[in-house]
Amino acid sequence: MAKTQLNVRVDEGTARAARERALARGMSVNRYIEELVRQDTGEVGHTFVEAAADFMKQYESVFAEEFGAEREGTREGRH
């Protein structure tokens, strides 16, 4: 993906906080800001939900076998 340069002016406290948070996460300030914007626009959440849906679809039969009867209150020994 092509990158575009974006210049942003912030106060020194905000800049310091961004540097500290990026360092604590082991990433560049650029990457940190990029991830914040993605989170804010829902891209990260959307990706997570898609991955979770794929996982559930793949293992639907396993979950149904293990938890399906219990969920409906019909597991053996329960009535």
Same domain, residue pair 6 and 36: yes
Same domain, residue pair 1 and 37: yes
Among residues 21, 25, 2, 24, the alpha carbon closest in space to that of 10 is found at 21
pTM: 0.52
Tokens for 50, please give them: 């898609």
> What is the domain count for the chain?
2
Task: Assign 74 a pLDDT band (cuts: 50, 70, 90).
Answer: low
Q: Write the pLDDT tens digit of every residue in 2-51.
A: 889 989 899 999 999 999 999 999 999 999 999 888 887 876 667 777 88
DSSP H helical ranges for the chain: 12-25, 29-40, 43-58, 60-63, 69-71
Q: Name 77's Cβ contacts closer than 8 Å, sequence gap at least 6.
A: none
Task: Identify the domain containing residue 3 by its residue range.
Answer: 1-41
Query: What phi-psi label fits residue 73: left (phi over 0), alpha (psi between -120 and 50 degrees) or beta?
Result: left
